[in-house]
C-alpha cells in the first residue's frame, strides 16, 4: 500500500503568537516532527505551508504554498499535490502533536476492510488526528464546493471507523499559548 501524508500548516498562528509550523516542541519545529513521524511509517509527506515556511521542509517533504484562508482550501491543494501512486492518505493539522507510530499503524490497519473509507483515532471518547483515508474517496476536494474535513468525515457514517487508541497526542491541540503551556510546561517558542 502506497502511503502519503498531508500536513496542513498554512495558518498564521494569530492566537498562538507565531506560526504553528515553527513552534518548537522537544527541540524541533512541529512541522518537522510530523514529517519525521510519517516517514517512520513509510509515508511521503506533503506540507501545505505558509510561503515563509517552505524552507523549513525543503529536502524532507514536498511543500505546497497556500494562501487559502480556509483549511478545506489548503486540503484541496494538498490532495492535488499527492503522488499518483498513493492509495492511502494520512491528514493532520500541524497544531496537533504527532501521533505515536502504533496509533498510525492502527489507523492504517483499520482501512484493511473494503467497507472502510476513513479511520479516526479516538482517545477517551474524543476524536483526533491524524485521520487515515482512502485516496480514491477524496474527490470532494477536487470540486469547487470544498467541505470542511470534519463535515466530510461525519458524512461518511459507518464507512468511517473509530479506532480507540491509548495516545493522548491525538487530541492535543497546540493552537494557543495556554494550550502549549499546559501540554509542554513552557510558553511557546518558535524557530
pLDDT bin (cut points 50, 70, 90) of residue 93 is very high
H or E stretch including 47?
A: strand 44-49
Mean pLDDT of 71-98: 96
**Closest alpha carbon to 129 in 80, 154, 92, 156:** 92
Residue 12: other Cβ atoms inside 10 A: 11
H or E stretch including 74?
A: helix 71-81
Mean pLDDT of 18-33: 95
Question: Prior bond to 10 cis, omega within 30?
Answer: no
- Tell me the percentage of the chain whose pLDDT exceeds 90: 90
Parse the chain into domains and list their residue ranges.
3-184
User: What pLDDT is recorded for position 88?
Assistant: 98
User: What pLDDT is recorded for position 145?
Assistant: 82
Least confident of 39-48, 52-61, 158-167: 52-61
What pairing do the DSSP bridges indicate for beta strands 131-134 and 118-123? antiparallel
Q: Which pTM value belongs to this model?
A: 0.96
Q: Pull the grid cell for residue 131.
A: 485521520
Fold observed for domain 3-184 = Spore Coat Polysaccharide Biosynthesis Protein SpsA; Chain A (3.90.550)
Average pLDDT, the chain: 95
* Residue 69 in this model has a pLDDT that exceeds 80: no
CA 43/CA 184 separation, integer angstroms: 27
* Residue 1 in this model has a pLDDT that exceeds 80: no
* Residue 166 in this model has a pLDDT that exceeds 90: yes
Q: Which residue has the cell 480556509?
A: 70
Mean pLDDT of 90-94: 98
Q: What is the DSSP string of 158-177?
A: GGEEEEE-S-GGGG-B--SH
Mean pLDDT of 91-111: 97
Mention every residue, 6+ apart, whose C-beta is less than 8 A from residue 125. none
When comparing pLDDT for 4 and 15, which is higher? 4
- Burial per residue of 101-119, b for 16 or more beta-carbon CB atoms within 10 angstroms, e otherwise: eebbebbbebbeeeebbbb
Amino acid at each position: 500500500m502506497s502511503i502519503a501524508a498531508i500536513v496542513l500548516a498554512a495558518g498564521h498562528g494569530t492566537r498562538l503568537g507565531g506560526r504553528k509550523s515553527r513552534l518548537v516542541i522537544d527541540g524541533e519545529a512541529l512541522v518537522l516532527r510530523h514529517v519525521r513521524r510519517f516517514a517512520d511509517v513509510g509515508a511521503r509527506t506533503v506540507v501545505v505551508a505558509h510561503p515563509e515556511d517552505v524552507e523549513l521542509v525543503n529536502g524532507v517533504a514536498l511543500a505546497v504554498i497556500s494562501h487559502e484562508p480556509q483549511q478545506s482550501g489548503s486540503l484541496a491543494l494538498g490532495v492535488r499535490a499527492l503522488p499518483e501512486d498513493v492509495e492511502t492518505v494520512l491528514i493532520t493539522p500541524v497544531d496537533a502533536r504527532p501521533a505515536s507510530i502504533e496509533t498510525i499503524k492502527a489507523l492504517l490497519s483499520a482501512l484493511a476492510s473494503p467497507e472502510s473509507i476513513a479511520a479516526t483515532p479516538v482517545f477517551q471518547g474524543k476524536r483526533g488526528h491524524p485521520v487515515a483515508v482512502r485516496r480514491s474517496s477524496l474527490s470532494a476536494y477536487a470540486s469547487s464546493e470544498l467541505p470542511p474535513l470534519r463535515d466530510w468525515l461525519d458524512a461518511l457514517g459507518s464507512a468511517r471507523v473509530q479506532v480507540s487508541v491509548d495516545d493522548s497526542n491525538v487530541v492535543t491541540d497546540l493552537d494557543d499559548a495556554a494550550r502549549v503551556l499546559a501540554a509542554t510546561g513552557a510558553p511557546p517558542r518558535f524557530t
